Amino acid sequence: MRHARALDEERLVEVEWEDGVQSLYPFTWLRDNCQCSLCTLKSAQARKLLMSDLDIHTGIDVVEVTNDNKVSIVWPDQHTSMFEAEWLKKRSFSQEARQTMQEELFFNERYYWDSKLHIPTANYQDVLNDDKAALAWLVALKRVGMVYLKGAPAQLGQVARLAERIGYLRLTFYGHTWQVQDKYMANNVAYTPGRLSLHTDYPALHFAPGVQFLHCINQAEKGGESEVVDGFHTAEQLHREDPEAFHTLTSLLVDFTDTGTDYCDFMLQSKKSIIDVNAQGQVVRINYNNATRDSVLDLPLHQVQPFYRALKAYVNIMNRRENVVTYKMEPGDIMTFDNWRLLHGRRSYVSRPDRLRHLEGAYLDWDEVMSRLRILRKSVDEADATR
């Protein structure tokens, strides 16, 4: 750092770096983020300072750069704060620095795809045993929305092992893990040999599972092929081609329902728009399973037909040949995917009692997956640095 000085009028500290670039930090933010042991619990990396003890109009008595390259601030009550250069630089309020930091924290970069996608593929054992392979797996899962794992044993328990590699799985009414098979008196259309049109799992839950694993233990001889589509890419195609339909699907709330018994008895109701966008208008989640879309439709009469028109327009785009990736899972394959982004389906299959089609599935949430992703990047970076 070349210097640090207080701009008292604006209540900003100006820091000039070695390259001549300057950064500005509000007095209030600096006081709020004092790193001393009175203000911060080091062992939890958490703020001890209470909002009720923060003076949001504080001035500064003295600010200077110390010999060991820290910004030292003495506040009017003589409390002292020390800020390391690197720590400050990362937290710069400039547009570029904020963007870099957000990318580092949230891995927001997206790769949109269509039928020409070469599905990112990794080896199951590598992902379990090697941090670099696990990191590449989760980076692609976030960026592309799906990663195909090969080489797992064709036995129960592999999706649970994979979930433990990350943290823990998401329990739902279908159990910790669940068996996709042709079942007598099926409590879900997935548990029949019928076709499953493109869907996201579990829109009947307001907080639908973020990530899904499907492990093929046994495949049908005839049928049972998988289909996947990039829900974000196709939603943006809808936005361009039919903005009115896009607006309808991002604004109208649709009822979803799911009733039955499995892990325990359940009677779910939810209200979701088919396409969720964030405050910037970016598509962030798809909520659509035609099987659990409720016959109760809480819309005024005049919105019913426009809703169907809009949904049909989106489904027609999804089903375009140029958007769909088709493959057939083999025993030992595990499909890992973003359930907030991908729509997935299955062709009908011929059920044979002597060769039962069987997939084992599990859900996780994005918070746990992103947590493991950050930890893996840190440990892989550190290992690389010491080599």
Binding site for ligand OGA (CB under 6 A): 180, 190, 196, 201, 214, 226, 344, 346, 359, 361
Q: Residue 63: name its binding partner from ligand OGA, Zn ion, ligand NM2, none (Cβ under 5 to 8 Å by kind).
A: none
Q: Residue 142: name its binding partner from Zn ion, ligand OGA, ligand NM2, none (Cβ under 5 to 8 Å by kind).
A: none
Q: Which CB, 82 or 375, lies closer to Zn ion?
A: 82
Q: Which CB, 38 or 385, lies closer to Zn ion?
A: 38
CB 213 within 8 A of CB 335: yes
Residue nearest to ligand OGA (CB): 190
Helix (H) or strand (E) holding 138: helix 131-143
Structure tokens at 317: 């785009």
For position 36 contacting Zn ion by CB under 5 A, the verdict is yes
For position 205 contacting Zn ion by CB under 5 A, the verdict is no
Q: Which CB, 120 or 209, lies closer to ligand OGA?
A: 209
- Spatial distance between the Cα atoms of 185 and 164, rounded to a whole number of angstroms: 32
* Residue 346 CB, nearest approach to ligand OGA (Å): 4
For position 171 contacting Zn ion by CB under 5 A, the verdict is no
Alpha carbon 338 to its chain's center: 7
Q: Residue 23: name its binding partner from Zn ion, ligand OGA, ligand NM2, none (Cβ under 5 to 8 Å by kind).
A: none
* Residue 196 CB, nearest approach to ligand OGA (Å): 5
Find all residues with CB under 8 Å of 280, minimum gap 6, and list them. none
Q: Residue 359: name its binding partner from ligand OGA, Zn ion, ligand NM2, none (Cβ under 5 to 8 Å by kind).
A: ligand OGA
Within 316-375, the residues that bind Zn ion by CB under 5 A are none
Q: Residue 289: name its binding partner from Zn ion, ligand OGA, ligand NM2, none (Cβ under 5 to 8 Å by kind).
A: ligand NM2
* Residue 73 CB, nearest approach to ligand NM2 (Å): 54
Q: Residue 174: name its binding partner from ligand NM2, ligand OGA, Zn ion, none (Cβ under 5 to 8 Å by kind).
A: ligand NM2
Q: Which residues bind ligand NM2 (CB under 6 A)?
A: 174, 178, 180, 188, 190, 201-202, 258, 289, 292, 361
Amino acid letter, 156: L
* Residue 37 CB, nearest approach to Zn ion (Å): 8
For position 39 contacting Zn ion by CB under 5 A, the verdict is yes
Please list the helix, strand and coil fractions of the chain in percent, rounded to the nearest 5, in that order: 30, 30, 40
Find all residues with CB under 8 Å of 339, minimum gap 6, and list them. 200, 201, 202, 208, 209, 210, 211, 212, 363
Applying CB under 5 A, which part among 126-134, 200-208, 266-274, 369-377 lies near Zn ion?
200-208
Q: How many CB atoms lie within 10 A of CB 339?
A: 26
Q: What is the DSSP string of 25-64?
A: EEHHHHHHT--STTTEEGGGTEE-S-GGG--TT---SEEE
Structure tokens at 305: 């037909």
Q: Give the C-alpha distances (Å, rounded to integers) separating 45 from 33, 34, 270.
A: 11, 12, 37
Structure tokens at 76: 């009017």
* Residue 281 CB, nearest approach to Zn ion (Å): 28
Give strand pairing partners of 260: 266
Q: Residue 34: name its binding partner from Zn ion, ligand NM2, ligand OGA, none (Cβ under 5 to 8 Å by kind).
A: Zn ion
- Spatial distance between the Cα atoms of 318 and 312, rounded to a whole number of angstroms: 10
CB 296 within 8 A of CB 255: yes
* Residue 43 CB, nearest approach to ligand NM2 (Å): 40
- Spatial distance between the Cα atoms of 8 and 148, rounded to a whole number of angstroms: 57
Where do contacts with Zn ion occur on this chain (CB under 5 A)?
34, 36, 38-39, 201
